[in-house]
Amino acid sequence: MATWMKRVVGAAKLDVATYEEVEADKSATGQAMLVVVLSAVAAGIGAYEQGVRGIAGMAIGALLGWFVWAFLTWFIGTKILPEPQTKADLGELLRTIGFSASPGFLRVLGIVPVLGGLVGIVVAVWMLMSMIVGVRQALDYKGTGRAVLVCLLGFVVYCGIWIGTALFLGMGAWMLGSIFGRGGN
């Protein structure tokens, strides 16, 4: 069994064997969670104006997002778009998607003036590619096209959930502010 750091590097290299290993290793869920948290912390440091509360919030949001994203991917990939050989559980998606966040460690470089924006774009694309490989392996797809489609559909639903939640919470905050005299017209 590979060490955590070898898995992080292998996932970042889009190594299929690494994704197969973490998919099969039920004890790697905690390791995947650590990757998600550290990737979020790196993003928070890279966006240096966030402060400690912002970084903590990003880490908590990343964990929640990781779980929601893995659930959506599992559901879409196994219930809506499975291939005949597709067999996966939520844990497998949690592990592969968690490790797909490993390129996100480089988001700490966002703190470097001028370089930060470019790093952000490159890392976002790299993380997407990592996720597609992880999803393909976890769902036992023969090709990459279906994994891309699952990720795309999952992204649309995921964004809808977050936008809906933000609107709901924003409206709730506005309503409470109106009631207690701190908002409204």
For 153, the token pair is 């559909």
6-48 confidence digits (pLDDT tens): 999 999 999 999 999 999 999 999 999 999 999 988 888 887 7
3 state DSSP class of 161: helix
Going by C-alpha positions, the residue among 104, 113, 103, 4 that lies closest to residue 49 is 113
DSSP string, 67-94: HHHHHHHHHIIIIIS--TT----HHHHH
Going by C-alpha positions, the residue among 31, 32, 57, 46 that lies closest to residue 105 is 46
80-113 confidence digits (pLDDT tens): 999 999 999 999 999 999 999 999 999 899 888 8
pLDDT of 178 > 80? The answer is no
pTM: 0.84
Going from N- to C-terminal start, the domains of the chain cover 4-179
